[in-house]
Structure 1
Amino acid sequence: MTDEEDVFAWLQDEVKPTVDDRIRQWLEEFEYAERLWYPIDTGGKRIRPGLVFLVSEMVDVPQADALDIAAGVELLHNFTLVHDDIIDGDEYRRGEPTLWAEHGEGSAINLGDMMFAKAILCFPAETRDLALDTVITVTNGEQMDIDFADRRDTTVEEYMTMVRRKTGALLELCVDAPLALADSDLDLSGFTSLGPAFQIRDDLLDFQEGKGREQIGNDVRAGKRTLMVVHADDERVYDILDKPFDETTKEDVRTVMQILEAEGSMAFAEQRMNDLIEEARGAITELPDSPQREKLQALGQFITERDV
């Protein structure tokens, strides 16, 4: 029986070194390979490459093609993180200085573009259009998220559209690219609901002490329109969110928490997250029995239950 600890060990001991070696091979001929490798080398669980491998095994995608897809997905993931860090002004990720903090914003934007181009070339030719469509979807979601920061009328439906694009699209690529290469009709669409579920869980965890956080409520300080904020739709919350990061106090964070609890927004977000998780579990249950299905089930639990 595969459990979360087994999956974590598999990701770290098998998936990560295999995918990282392939990425190094792709980057070594590049003039700025060392800088491009830096954000990848700072850590990460390699969940997406692991998902690529599992789906590829289910539909008999050749190992070499599966590895290229996995490497391409991981590069795309890190490309989005490089640009996210610039947008959010985050100086650290995974405990290390971000690429822009190391080399400046202009250089990091350009290096992120290089990483994006290299990532697309990693994919087998038959899946490159799918990878490009995914990047368009992710960046549309990112732009929605950016635009939300200036609004007080975002709806729950708009939030869910944004998070499915920004967080869910790369998980969908991990499934869709192997299926497209194998010309398979295997239905795993429900499994990718774990992307939005994970994001909602991360939003909720921002209000919980521990979990490696130095302080709670950083999303409040950053003015983020999370699902709870959108659901509550309270002017008092928006007034606090629109304050500068450094001027937002612990009392402000407590006030937001109290309002979100009183409006039932925390419970609403938790229920929406659980509904998405159940949707993903249902998709796995429909699959034929196999070691891959068992590991996929454990991977889903790892994604939504691990500390972040």
Structure 2
Amino acid sequence: MSDKASSTRDVLEWLQRDVTPSVDNHLEAILGESQFADRLTYQIRSGGKRLRPGLAMLSGTLCGLEAADILDIAAAVEMIHTYSLLHDDLVDDDRYRRGEPAFWVEFGHDDAINIGDMMFTRGLKTVPDDQEHLAIETVHEMTAGQQMDLDFDRRRDVTSEEYLEMVQKKTGSLFDLCLELPQAVSDTDLDVDGYSSLWPAFQIYDDIQDCKHGKGKSKPGGDICSGKRTLMTIHTNSDEVYDILDKPPEETTQADVQEVIDRYQENGSITYARNYMEQLQDDAKASLQNLPESPERTKLQVLAQLDFEL
């Protein structure tokens, strides 16, 4: 086994062994006080790698925060993340999340909206030291990115620059919060702003994985059925691809999905996206040179290798 694979395994084990139990127990304690605890904890019980809380804990440790504050920040970002998942699955009509029925399938559309809102506000209340304004700004950016993504579904002229801006807002802003909140609470500057190059790499990786086996939410090509514009779509720039993407999801066949994937492959668009992703990874890893050697820096380096599904 290569050193790279071993390091990735170690970080995944750390997320499972150390991050998940402590964060999930804290979330259960926070949300268990509610009369709606069964629904508030449904998505949390379905699992997940807890990457965002892990990043918050790494940042908090590097900033020298107390354990209680680190745990509150980690729980807050996971609640904000969970709120976004409840709404995203409803908007995207995704019936499965992490191999289990999506929240809206289990409890209905109305509950998905309302419980999602409740989760968001509970996350804000958990942010320590009067820094909830950072979380509010983050959710503003996330929803702006989500709206851009929705608007893209009606266009055939989306540019790479627009796609990357959308990704940074929709996906990257919450990852940024994981690193920024501990710095704000501790009044510390870790000088790792360049690490944010990794967030678009995460999304590009996610897009590529969807062409392979569906990211654990559905069959391969869920994004294609939903009409999503990705970096591969923009690179291929084919009317035939857009014709399929513009079909209603229920009319998009597996043959349609395979045709789009084949065109991505034939045009070198998957390779293009992967190469772009790897350059972003390199930029992120380079930004960590400002940090002193530590177990936390090593974990951040390994996360930037992107050797696993997110």
Q: Report the TM-score when normalising by structure 1.
A: 0.94
Q: Tell me the equivalent position of 1:307.
A: 309
Deviation of 1:253 after TM superposition, in Å, equals 2.6
| 1:153 and 2:157 aligned | yes
Q: Tell me the equivalent position of 1:129.
A: 133
Give distance in 2, aligned partners of 1:125 and 1:285. Answer: 29
Contact 2:94 2:217 in 1 (8 A): no
Deviation of 1:210 after TM superposition, in Å, equals 8.9
1:179 and 1:214, CA in 2 relative to 1: closer, same or farther beyond 3 A? closer
Q: Tell me the equivalent position of 1:104.
A: 108
Deviation of 1:233 after TM superposition, in Å, equals 2.1
Q: Which amino acid aligns with 2:270?
A: M
Q: Which amino acid aligns with 2:148?
A: M
Deviation of 1:257 after TM superposition, in Å, equals 2.7
Give distance in 2, aligned partners of 1:27 and 1:268. Answer: 43
Q: Tell me the equivalent position of 1:53.
A: 57
Q: Tell me the equivalent position of 1:94.
A: 98
Q: Tell me the equivalent position of 2:74.
A: 70
Give distance in 2, aligned partners of 1:210 and 1:168. Answer: 21
Give distance in 2, aligned partners of 1:107 and 1:211. Answer: 24
Q: Deviations over 1:17-54 (max 9, x none)?
A: 11111111211221211110111111111111111111
Deviation of 1:77 after TM superposition, in Å, equals 0.5
Q: Tell me the equivalent position of 1:195.
A: 199
- Among 231, 252, 259, the alignment partner of 2:256 is 252
Contact 2:43 2:103 in 1 (8 A): yes
Secondary structure of the corresponding residue to residue 126 of structure 1: coil
- Among 3, 9, 32, the alignment partner of 1:5 is 9
Q: Which amino acid aligns with 2:112?
A: A
Secondary structure of the corresponding residue to residue 287 of structure 2: helix
Q: Tell me the equivalent position of 1:15.
A: 19
Deviation of 1:183 after TM superposition, in Å, equals 1.1
Q: Deviations over 1:120-154 (max 9, x none)?
A: 00001332111111010111111111111111111
Give distance in 1, aligned partners of 2:142 and 2:26. Answer: 24
Give distance in 2, aligned partners of 1:237 and 1:216. Answer: 16
Give distance in 1, aligned partners of 2:296 and 2:224. Answer: 40
Deviation of 1:252 after TM superposition, in Å, equals 2.2
Q: Report the TM-score when normalising by structure 2.
A: 0.93
1:213 and 1:115, CA in 2 relative to 1: closer, same or farther beyond 3 A? closer
Q: Which amino acid aligns with 1:60?
A: G
* RMSD value, Cα: 1.9
* Paired residues, number: 306
Deviation of 1:217 after TM superposition, in Å, equals 2.4
Moved more, 24-33 or 132-141: 24-33
Gaps of 5+ in 1: none
Q: Which amino acid aligns with 1:115?
A: M
Secondary structure of the corresponding residue to residue 83 of structure 2: helix
Secondary structure of the corresponding residue to residue 305 of structure 1: coil
Moved more, 243-252 or 154-163: 243-252
Deviation of 1:238 after TM superposition, in Å, equals 0.6
Give distance in 2, aligned partners of 1:251 and 1:132. Answer: 42
Deviation of 1:211 after TM superposition, in Å, equals 7.3
Q: Which amino acid aligns with 1:216?
A: P
Q: Which amino acid aligns with 1:166?
A: K
Deviation of 1:214 after TM superposition, in Å, equals 6.8
Deviation of 1:231 after TM superposition, in Å, equals 2.3
Once the two structures are aligned, what percentage of the paired residues are identical? 47
Q: Which amino acid aligns with 2:143?
A: T
Gaps of 5+ in 2: none
Q: Which amino acid aligns with 1:249?
A: T
